[in-house]
Structure 1
Amino acid sequence: MEDLEERFTKVSSSAVLIGDKLATLDGERSRVLETDELMEALLALNDPSSKLTKSSNRLVNTLHDPNQLHEASKIIKKMSVFSSELSSPTISYAVAEIERLSQTTENNLLSEFSNEQEKGNLIGMRKCAQSLIEYNDKEKVADRYVWNVMCDRLAKTAGEPTESSLDPIADLDALYTKITAICTEQFPVIESVFPAAACDSIRELLMERLFNDPAFGILSFLDQFLKTRRYTESLAASNEDEISVSPSRDYVKLLCAAYERTCSMVAEIEAIERANQFETHKHTVSSNQDPSADDHSSLSVAAEDERIHTFLNLQLHSLFGSHREKYVQTELDLLQDQFKSITTDVTFPKPPVPSKGKGGTSKAKGAAVTVANTSTPSPSASSTQLVSSASTTSISSSNLEKDGGLQLASSLVFFESLRELAEDQGVPSNYKEVMDEAIDRCEVVLKGSELRGELVTKVFTSFVASFGDEYLAKLMELTKEILQEQRLTQDSALQFFIITEALLKRIDFLDEQFEGLVVPLHMDSPTQLTICQESKQKCLDKLEGLISAGLLQVLTVIEKAIVQILTTNQSKADFLGGQASMSLSSSKACQKCTEYLQPLVDVIFRVLIEENCVRFLILLARSFKDLYLQHLRKFRFDPDGACMLLRDVSEYRQTFRSPWLPTAVDDTFDLLHEVANVFALPPENLGGFVREGKLATLNKEMLRHIVKRRWDYKANAEKIAASLKDAKEEKST
């Protein structure tokens, strides 16, 4: 059996070899016969008279038979290859004839393809396309197919009634609707007519022509579209509040609208392609249950999705790439114009000019009283009005008598106008609206572009420069005008803080825009975020410098007001042998001074925060201490006067009182309290009191002057001097 099996194997192997050899010989025989037939046809074509007589050669007759175009295309391709290998001049006529027949056959096939396409015969189109692709690849038949589609569309467009639209956006939408309809109609045709391997490139060829055709495509339409002003003019006509139209505004609005609509059209085209791929994929799965084939089909669909997406993005770039850099500059130019328009529309109040005339005092006084009593606060004034109308009237009346009614009236009008402007949210809202519009357009036109981050940064830095460095800085400079010597009133310091409070809220708008607008857009761009942060911080530092200068200036104003109040209202009888010092109330000067300081301290606590508030209150308290000590040197004190002084110091301390009063402020009033006790203690106890208390930190010269203001200093000068000397010696030891 083994021997038989071995012999059977050998015979089988021999049979296979013999079969292969016979197949090879048969193939060679067929090629020889085909070559012989081609040679005979070549010789027949080499005879010029063959055109006049019917040839006996089958191939030649097929080539000349218009009903056998598809067979002729196969023959002429073989003859073209065969003749290209022959270089004999004797058959040059045949070679030329083959080239002529080749061109004729191709043209006839293309004509037949066009005829079938016009009829909508997909089977005939597919047959012609297959012959043309086998004959000369797919380029010419693809070009002819796309050309026919475009000609058909142009013919339909020419037959439609032409209506001139006043809105180019409507014209653009109409064009995109037509293009989407063409894709919806032709993509299934491409799937049915052309081989699967050629479908992607033919679809892309069709879309490229639709995008770039000079007569029908998007590119030529966009060139005219972006030059028109009809769209924005119609909008402006329908909206009286619309900012006056400008070429820059027209351009960015139209470009944004065009890009947005083009992206929508591209998404629709991708959806059409995806639907066709889904149908093809479903058909493949139903006809082939192999799981590996299903996976391969899914990968193929994903690859096709990526290909069409990439292609359409390239088309978008070809349409809008040249406009992006121009758009960035145009958007910035428009932004600057709009920011300038916002600030130009603001009416900044003019600081009042001091009146040099002396006439008309009674009329000016009456006008000032009217303004002081009837001025209507802004809607937000309820939270910022720190002085009652009664106190305002009384203060204003005293100032009228001193400075003249006209000066007070003009100062009050200036303050009210400036406060109204500082509290107005219209300007920040206008800035926000302009920025939001610019960013929205940027997100559309520059989506996926590096220019997007750069434009967002430039939009924000331009906003900081306009709103912060110009608008807010201007308001702060005007606020400081309230504190100018020639415009001072009793309310100037309070007015400064009221307006500063409103301006600090406007300054917060810079941070709001940075956190709400810039940070989310620059999450992936730390460099651009840093640029915006530095721009904002530079502006905040500048504004902080202006506020700091104003605070120093207002401190000087407060000092002058305190000196004036104390000088005007403090009587020598308050602290020496008078009935006033016997009462249980504070002095008139203290009451007036606390009436002046209390609203100021309240608004300081509210306006300034944390360390700024602490530092300013410490400065104010120490300044008050120095001024008050200088003031006390003008008076003499008996024990009853010391009690009056203690009540006054307690009232002053209470004016500064708060849950988080700085320790340094308490120490300041502790010192003043000890100064008051200097006038109440017996002479022999002064030394120990000075040694153990805060008076030890006081300047020696100042302490000496204070002690001299005791009512009994002349009588007890030696005792007092000895007591202070003992205190000094004990301290040194």
Structure 2
Amino acid sequence: MNSAGLYAMDPSVESLLGTRTFEDQFDIKEFVSSISENLILQSNQEPGPFDPRPFIRNFEAAVDMLLVIRKDIQKKTEMLEKSVKSAEEEYNQKMVDLNSGFEAVGRSFAAMESKITEVGRSAIRIGEQLESVHLGRQRAQAAYDLFDHYNRLSRGDTSSLETLKKETKSREGTRQVAIILRRLNIVAKEVDVPGADTTRENIERYCEKFEKDMLKLFDRYYRKGDPKMMARCAQTLLEFNGGSSCVQMYVNQHDFFISESRVQGPDDTTVVWQSLPDPYAPAPKKEPGLSTIFAEIRATVEQEAQIIQAVFPNPPIVMQVFLQRVFAQVIQQYLEVALENASMMSNLAFLRMLNMAHIQTSALVEDLKQFDLSTTITRSNSAPVPSDPLATAGSTGTGAAGPFGPMLDTAMEEIFVPHTEGTKYLERESKSLGEMYLNLLLRFTKYHEKASKSKTSNLYGRLVTQLANAAVTSSSNSAPGSTRAQAAAAFMKFSGISGPQAESEEDPIKEEDGAPSIEVAETMLKWHAEAIGRCVEIGPASEVPKHALSLLRVLAEALGRSYIEVAIETAQNRLESRDTKAELDLSGLVIIRCTDLICHLWQQYINIALLPLASTSVTLRREMSIFSSQTISRIEGAANTLMQKIIDAVLVYLASQLSKQKKNDFKPRNDDLSFARVNTDPCTGCCEMLERFRDAAKDNTSGKNLEYLLTEVGTSFHSLLLEHLRKFSVNETGGIMLAKDLKSYQDTIATYNVAALDERYEFLRQLGNVFLVPAQSLKSFVTESYLGRIDAQLLRPYLAQRSDWNQTERGYDGEATVADANDASSRGFKERLGVSGKLAAVVQELDNLRVGDEGNMSGLASQRNSGAFGLSPNMSFGAER
């Protein structure tokens, strides 16, 4: 039984069971809660247990209504689907009908197009035939007119040409006369009949008159500033003879080339010109006069580009003619005057001016390349030029304009070629460097020439010759006859020095003038770098490696042979000729240090500045590297020799100090004066010398070089002391004095901080103790102390210097025993001490008494002549320390 018939449905629920409820966004949970909302409220209000029946009846009625609604909606959906399907079928049929209609229309248009194309082809053929007939008629008419004018001119009649010229219709008459006269000139040159010469003269006379009239007319409109009429005249003259005369008149009468103010040379009183010949002043970047001219050229060309485009029918050609005149007349004339003035100052001023001009001119050329009129559209207001029915290959004209950019580059190159062709530039650059180096090293050379006046060679003349040789060598293609003697004379002339005796008495040579310095080397490298920069700017890129190598030879002669090696040679001469009794001068070590720093600077300069320039040529790069290495090796060899001479001089001085030892120094009387003395005078002198040498060595060397240098002097002085101890008799009081001297020697050598020397001088101190031991304890001291492993017979030459040896010798010999087992072990210690002969026998048994690490000691005597400086195989100049 249907519950809907017994119980009425809640009206609020009936409102929810409409189709609108299920449209848009539908939430099932919200729908169910809305149906049961009123029943829940009623259930909450009624007392008693929960009654589910109202809810069941309500939901059953709702479900029944929803089923009815679903059936209605399904019916409507089926009806709509049928309607849509029928509409789609109708639409598809209409599209098929339309496509068939469009295809029919397309076929109709294609047929029509093919018919039109066929008609067009027929029209084109007819047009071509008509054009050919028209051209033939024009040629025939032009030939007829040409023969008519020729016959008239043969009789001297020019009335027809005058009448044609006076036509005012767009000035076409004048243009036609120009074309006719050009053709008549061609005909007159080819016709060879009786009377042709007279006719040719008449034609040439009339052509000359016509050209003059047109040029006057062009000049008149040019002065009035009427570009439109100027363009007509230019077009007429172009038809007549190519327009070259018109272009020449335009260029020749331009105010830019007539101005007299521009013909004057540069103002050489400005700061720029005053700094040009000064090598210590930085090279100026711009020349004021040249900058002014170039600024005016830029402004003028910018203005003329517009005028030329508006006036001439061939603006690219006219612009090229105008710019060629600018370079050949304005720029070249100014540069010639400027370079001549600079040349009278010095070679450096000339080269700086040339480099400045090249840089500024290159910038000007780059700016002018934007005015390439061949890439712009010609004037739009010009009338169309009628075709010439009788145009032939013989027609005159200016021809096509060449490339604009290369034309400017060529014009610029022609300005500088007279100064850079062949080897002119390189020779001048080499001479300039030679002059500057000669003046820079003048006082240095004078000083060393005086210091070496005992030598027969003239240092100043040698300096001039070396720099001249370098300048001549730098250019293998120099002019014939340029000998080294001539080059040397040129250096003397350019430097403003009359000869080696041209020394100012008011400014005498000082000691510091002869000392080499890093500042002078840096100045020489700075000048050389400036010259290399000019080579890169002025010379062709392919020649830069050659120029760099050539100028490197000049630098090597000046910095190497004429500066560093001269200082080293003078230092060697002083060491050889010095008075051995005078105090030793160790300034040679300062020269060694300066040489080391300059070699470092040289290598850095070569690697950073020069070798990259030779990257394009493997051969020249290798040659440059080899030359640099040879230069460094030569300087190192000279420095090695100087260092060895310094070491020898120090040892000679120490030997001379030891030779001043008095016989009674170690055998004094037992008085207060003897005990008051701390050390003997020779000991004090030797210690002072050793300290001076230590300080000088530490100030000017470092690392392994310093260690081997101090080791060499310490080892050799140790040998001198061994010989020295055998020469003097020592009593008990003298033993104390001797012990003080040996302790001073040991303390002084200890400040060298060379482990290899400590054991040697400890042995000396122990050896000196044999003069302090009483006679009865001498034997036990020798056998049981530090000297116990030395063969007693080897110590006898030193024991014999004891003043009481005659009394103690018999007892000493009676108790003496020889430990032969120690002979073999003492051999290594002897080698480490580096002594030989009788001294070797003395220290033969000391090998077992080695102090310190055996691995740190080696035969130093065998190393004396090894390595750079003659000290260490690791010593070298120009390498990282």
TM-score normalized by the length of structure 1: 0.67
Cα-to-partner distance string for 1:654-695 (whole Å, 9 max, x where unaligned): 323357x344323432442453466658535746768986x6
Amino acid at match of 1:202: V
- 1:37–1:88 distance in 2 versus 1, CA, 3 Å: farther
How much has 1:72 moved relative to structure 2?
Answer: 0.3
Identity over aligned pairs, percent: 16
Which of 437, 448, 451 is residue 339 of structure 1 equivalent to? 437
Could you say which structure has the higher helix fraction?
1
Q: 1:35 to 1:85 in 2, by over 3 A?
A: farther
Equivalent position to 2:813, from 701, 718, 728: 718
Deviates more, 1:650-659 or 1:59-68: 59-68
Could you tell me which of 8, 11, 22 is aligned with 2:126? 22
User: Contact 1:351/1:478 (CA < 8 Å) preserved in 2?
Assistant: yes
- Residue 488 of structure 1 aligns to a residue whose secondary structure is coil
2-side partners of 1:78 and 1:164: how far apart?
45
C-alpha contact (below 8 Å) 1:684/1:720 kept by paired residues: no
* Residues 135 and 210 of structure 1: CA distance in aligned 2, closer, same or farther (over 3 Å): same
Q: 1:47-126 residue pairs with structure 2 within 5 A? A: 47-48=151-152, 52=157, 62=164, 67-69=171-173, 71-72=175-176, 76=180, 112-126=217-231
Is contact 2:316-2:372 (8 Å) kept?
A: no
Query: In structure 2, which of residues 696, 699, 719 is the aligned counterpart of residue 603 of structure 1?
Result: 696
* 1:430 Cα deviation from its structure 2 partner: 6.4
Give yes or no for contact 2:580–2:653 (8 Å, CA) kept in 1: no
Q: Give, in angstroms, the shift of residue 323 of structure 1.
A: 0.8
Q: What letter corresponds to residue 35 of structure 1 in structure 2?
A: R
Say if 1:722 and 1:211 are closer, same or farther in 2 by CA, change over 3 A.
Answer: same
Whole-angstrom CA distance in 2 between matches of 1:728 and 1:54:
139
1:481-508 per-position Cα deviation (integer Å, ceiling 9, x unaligned): 443466234421xx2x234315632663
Q: Which amino acid aligns with 1:152?
A: H
Check 1:171–1:313 CA distance in 2 against 1; reply closer, same or farther (3 A cut): same
What is the distance in 1 between the residues matched to 2:707 and 2:139? 108
How far, CA to CA, are the matches of 1:250 and 1:143 in structure 2?
Answer: 45
Matched residue, 1:203: 319
Q: Which residue of 1 aligns with 2:135?
A: 31
For the residues of structure 2 that align with 1:606 and 1:555, how far apart are their CA atoms?
16
1:193-272 aligned within 5 A? 193-194=311-312, 198-212=314-328, 216-220=329-333, 222-223=335-336, 225-228=338-341, 247=344, 249-250=345-346, 252-254=348-350, 256-261=352-357, 263-268=359-364, 270-271=366-367
Counterpart AA for 1:723: V
- Which structure has the bigger radius of gyration? 2
Distance verdict in 2 for CA 1:514–1:127, change over 3 Å: farther
Distance 1:621 1:510, change over 3 A: closer
Secondary structure of the corresponding residue to residue 21 of structure 1: helix
Does the 8 Å CA contact 1:328/1:455 hold for their aligned counterparts? yes
* Of 223, 241, 246, the match for 1:144: 246
2:590 corresponds to: 501
**Which residue in 1 is equivalent to 2:514?**
421
Q: Please give the per-residue CA displacement for 1:547-592, whole angstroms capped at 9, x wherever unaligned.
A: 4333333333333333343343466564899689999966665344
Q: Give the CA deviation at 1:186.
A: 1.5
Alpha carbons 1:621, 1:665 under 8 Å: kept: yes
How far apart, in 1, do the equivalents of 2:114 and 2:535 lie? 80
- The amino acid across from 1:190 in the alignment is I
> What is the aligned partner in structure 2 of residue 551 from structure 1?
643
C-alpha separation between the residues in 1 aligned to 2:637 and 2:816? Answer: 49
Who is 2:259 aligned against? 157
* Contact 1:41–1:60, Cα closer than 8 Å, also in 2: no
Residue 317 of structure 1 corresponds to: 413
Q: Whole-Å Cα distance in 1 between the matches of residues 289 and 110 of structure 2?
A: 85
Residue 668 of structure 1 is matched in structure 2 by 760
Deviation per CA, 1:393-412, whole angstroms, max 9, x where unpaired?
xxxxxxxxxxxxxxxxxxxx
**AA paired with 2:589?**
T
In 1: Cα distance, 2:609 partner to 2:787 partner: 63
Do the aligned partners of 1:687 and 1:723 also contact (CA within 8 Å) in 2?
no
**C-alpha displacement of 1:205:** 2.0
**Mapping for residues 359-508 of structure 1, pairs under 5 Å:** 418=511, 421-422=514-515, 428=521, 431=524, 435=528, 438-439=531-532, 442=535, 446=538, 448-484=540-576, 487-492=579-584, 495=585, 497-502=586-591, 504-505=593-594, 508=597
State the 1:422 CA deviation: 1.3
Aligned partners of 1:266 and 1:312 also within 8 Å: no
Contact 2:265 2:334 in 1 (8 A): no
Cα shift readout 1:364-411 (whole Å, capped 9, x = no counterpart) = xxxxxxxxxxxxxxxxxxxxxxxxxxxxxxxxxxxxxxxxxxxxxxxx
How large is the Cα RMSD of the aligned pairs?
5.1
Q: CA deviation at 1:628?
A: 0.6
Give the number of equivalent residue pairs. 612
Give deviations 1:334-370, integer Å, cap 9, x for gaps. Answer: 332333334333441745999xxxxxxxxxxxxxxxx
| Cα distance between partner residues in 2 of 1:73 and 1:315 | 38
Contact 2:589 2:696 in 1 (8 A): no
Which amino acid counterpart does residue 118 of structure 1 have in structure 2?
Answer: R
Q: What is the alpha-carbon distance in structure 2 between the residues aligned to residue 222 and residue 154 of structure 1?
A: 17
Structure 1 residue 621, shift from structure 2 partner: 1.6
Q: What amino acid sits opposite 2:706 in the alignment?
A: C
2:306 aligns with one of 169, 182, 188:
188
CA distance in 2, matches of 1:141, 1:25: 35
Secondary structure of 1:348's aligned partner: helix
- Opposite residue 618 of structure 1, the aligned amino acid is T
| Contact 2:726 2:801 survives alignment (8 Å) | yes
Cα offset, 1:38, TM superposition: 2.5
Aligned AA for 1:474? V
| Cα distance, 1:47 vs structure 2 | 3.5
- Give the counterpart letter for 2:225 in structure 1: G
The CA deviation string for residues 599-620 of structure 1, in whole angstroms up to 9 with x for no partner, is: 2222122223334333332221
Cα separation, partners in 2 of 1:674 and 1:150, compared to 1, 3 Å: farther
1:619 equivalent in structure 2 = 712
Gaps of 5+ in 2: 1-103, 270-286, 381-401, 455-508, 828-881
Partner Cα separation in structure 1 for residue 734 and residue 411 of structure 2: 94
Letter in 2 for 1:619: E
Quickly say closer, same or farther: Cα 1:557–1:17, change in 2 above 3 A.
closer
Structure 1 pair 184–489 and aligned structure 2 pair: CA distance change class (3 A) = farther
3-state SS of the aligned residue for 2:613?
coil
Helix, strand or coil for the counterpart of 1:483?
helix
Alpha-carbon deviations, 1:191-250, whole Å to 9, x = none? 33345xx444432221112222xxx4444554555444xx67xxxxxxxxxxxxxx5x54
Shift of residue 714, structure 1, vs aligned partner: 0.7
| Conserved? CA contact 1:457–1:532, under 8 Å | yes
